[in-house]
């Protein structure tokens, strides 16, 4: 039997503060993923999380090592960490009466070690945790706890800075929890087709009013059917998740990335003209194709084709902009092989980098 800890002393205020951050049920962002990846490497653990604790669940803003996006609050380890002023460490869950019968201990992911530090809003309310998890018992030194605290403070700072574009912010603010979930893709944790098109419509209206262009990238995974047919659909899922991860890393924090359908993705970039969109297309192509993926010990090559378009006098509607990006993608796929596209993308990205280094060559 599991006995959950009591709620915080002012739970209603805590939940109100958490909601005001406008982070719950938003797509994954690389600024948080960088922190959990670093925690995973530094501590050599299989699982690292940035979690937010809602009324009935623990939701993962960033998660390394687990495929789920949330767990019930009544079995959450992080709800215990919320009540502590400092870090919470459980060296061996099977020797702790609070957790020995927890289904996360007795079953997958078989947690044996947990350490978490609370994340606080600007008013001091604990809203979540940065946590590391291992499947074997372990002890930590004071230096380890200081590193955990430092990483938690980095994650906390990111919670206080909203970096989504205005169109994404507006959408998140207007939607309730269930509606936000309906606009995100469960596999890749990006916006789904409905979500990215809604954001594009909002950003396009804002761009037309301000007379500033917006850029759109349409891309798909090369030979995706071959990956599925050769290695199986689980490998295809790994490829899509890895592609989504690399796309988030390759774009600006405020850019919106969505899974348009199947193996297609769409990226929306505010204040971006056609030349900038084409440069971004080369950059993301090179980023995705830089390193292959591994699934069950097998190396799989991963490259993409990408087309760029931007709003303008001839493209003032959502349909026109999408069609232009789709046509550019079609030209990209017909114009060269994946090898040539990858080499071209890397070359263009390097040229742009050198331009910035020397101060902006024409």
In a domain, 362, yes or no: no
* DSSP category for residue 267: E
Quick one: 296 and 194 in the same domain? yes
Does the residue 117 lie in any domain? Answer: yes
Q: Tell me the average pLDDT across 307-322.
A: 90
Residues 222 and 115 in one domain: no
pLDDT in tens, 75-119: 999 999 998 989 999 999 999 999 999 999 999 999 999 999 999
pLDDT band at 151 (very low <50, low <70, confident <90, very high): very high
Same domain? For 178 and 91 the reply is no
Say if residue 35 is in the same domain as residue 96. yes
pLDDT above 70 (res 345):
no
Residues 44 and 132 in one domain: yes
Q: Per the domain annotation, does 196 fall within a domain?
A: yes
Over residues 269-287, the pLDDT tens digits come to 999 999 999 999 999 999 9
3-class SS of residue 3: coil
Asked if 134 and 46 touch (Cβ cutoff 8 Å), the reply is yes
Given a cut of 80, is residue 148 above it in pLDDT?
Answer: yes
Asked if residue 345 and residue 286 are part of one domain, the reply reads yes
Q: Mark whether 74 and 176 lie in a shared domain.
A: no
pLDDT of residue 230: 92
Query: Where a domain ends, among 144, 159, 174?
Result: 159
Last residue of a domain, one of 124, 159, 194: 159
User: Mean pLDDT over residues 330-349, rounded?
Assistant: 55
Reported as a single tens digit per residue, the pLDDT across 209-255 is 988 999 999 999 999 999 999 999 999 999 999 999 999 989 988 89
Q: Which of 142, 159, 176 is the last residue of a domain?
A: 159
What pLDDT, on the 0 to 100 scale, is given for residue 170?
Answer: 82
Q: Is 281 a domain residue?
A: yes
Domains: count for the chain: 2
Average pLDDT over residues 161-168: 79
Report DSSP letters for 57-81, one per residue: EEEEEEEES---SEEEGGG-SHHHH
Q: Tell whether 215 and 344 lie within a shared domain.
A: yes
**Same-domain status, 174 and 85:** no
User: Can you give the pLDDT at residue 177?
Assistant: 72
Please report which confidence band the pLDDT of residue 1 belongs to, taking 50, 70 and 90 as the band edges. low
Note the Cα 224 to chain centre separation in Å. 22
Mean of pLDDT values over 316-331: 92
Domain match, 197 and 342 both: yes
- Exactly one of 263, 271, 273, 319 is catalytic; name it: 263
Q: What is the pLDDT of residue 55?
A: 92
User: Are 170 and 155 contained in the same domain?
Assistant: no
Pick the more confident residue, 339 or 153.
153
- Contact of 99 with 90, CB cutoff 8 Å: yes
Return d(Cα 228, Cα 77) in angstroms, integer. 37
pLDDT at res. 169? 80
The number of residues making up the chain comes to: 362
Calculated CA dihedral for residues 183, 277, 262, 259, nearest 10 degrees: -20
Range of the domain at 39: 11-159
CATH number, domain at 242? 3.30.70.270
Residue 15 belongs to a domain = yes
Instruction: Report which of 280, 336, 314, 35 is spatially closest to residue 265, judged by C-alpha positions.
Output: 280
Decide if pLDDT at 293 tops 50: yes
CB neighbours of residue 178 within 10 Å: 8
Residue 300 lies in a domain: yes
Check residue 361 and give its pLDDT: 34
Same domain assignment for residues 128 and 189: no
Q: How confident is the model at residue 3 (pLDDT cuts 50, 70, 90)?
A: low
CA distance 324 to 341: 19
Q: Domain containing 96 — which CATH number? A: 3.30.450.40
More confident residue, 345 or 87: 87
pLDDT at 297 over 70: yes
Q: Is residue 5 part of a domain?
A: no
| Domain-located, residue 2 | no
Residue 186: CB partners within 8 Å, gap ≥ 6? 69
Q: Is 10 annotated in the active site?
A: no
């Amino acid at each position: 039997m599991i006995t959950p800890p009591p709620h915080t002393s002012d739970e209603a205020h805590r939940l109100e503060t958490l909601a005001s951050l406008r982070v719950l049920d938003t797509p994954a962002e690389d600024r948080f993923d960088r922190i959990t990846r670093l925690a995973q490497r530094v501590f050599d653990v299989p699982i690292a999380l940035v979690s937010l604790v809602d009324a009935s669940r623990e939701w993962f803003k960033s998660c390394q090592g687990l495929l789920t996006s949330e767990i019930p609050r009544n079995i959450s380890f992080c709800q215990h960490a919320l009540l502590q002023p400092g870090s919470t460490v459980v060296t061996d869950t099977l020797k702790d009466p609070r957790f020995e019968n927890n289904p996360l201990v007795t079953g997958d992911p078989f947690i044996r070690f947990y350490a978490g530090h609370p994340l606080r809003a600007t008013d001091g309310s604990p809203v979540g945790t940065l946590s590391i998890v291992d499947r074997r018992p372990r002890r930590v030194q004071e230096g380890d706890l200081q590193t955990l605290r430092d990483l938690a403070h980095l994650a906390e700072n990111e919670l206080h800075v909203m970096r989504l574009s205005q169109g994404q912010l507006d959408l998140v603010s207007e939607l309730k929890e269930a509606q936000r979930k309906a606009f995100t893709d469960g596999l890749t944790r990006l916006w789904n087709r409905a979500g990215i098109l809604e954001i594009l419509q909002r950003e396009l209206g804002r761009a037309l009013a301000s007379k500033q262009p917006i850029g759109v990238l349409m891309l798909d995974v090369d030979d995706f059917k071959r990956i599925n047919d050769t290695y199986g659909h689980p490998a295809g899922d790994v490829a899509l998740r890895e592609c989504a991860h690399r796309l988030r890393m390759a774009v600006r924090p405020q850019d919106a990335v969505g899974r348009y359908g199947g193996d297609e993705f769409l990226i929306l970039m505010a204040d971006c003209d056609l030349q900038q969109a084409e440069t971004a297309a080369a950059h993301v192509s090179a980023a995705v194709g830089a390193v292959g993926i591994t699934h069950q010990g097998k190396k799989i090559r991963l490259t993409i084709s990408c087309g760029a378009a931007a709003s303008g006098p001839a493209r003032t509607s959502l349909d026109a902009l999408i069609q232009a990006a789709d046509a550019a993608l079609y030209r990209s796929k017909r114009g060269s092989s994946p090898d040539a596209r990858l080499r071209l993308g890397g070359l263009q990205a390097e040229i742009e980098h050198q331009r910035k280094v020397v101060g902006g060559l024409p």
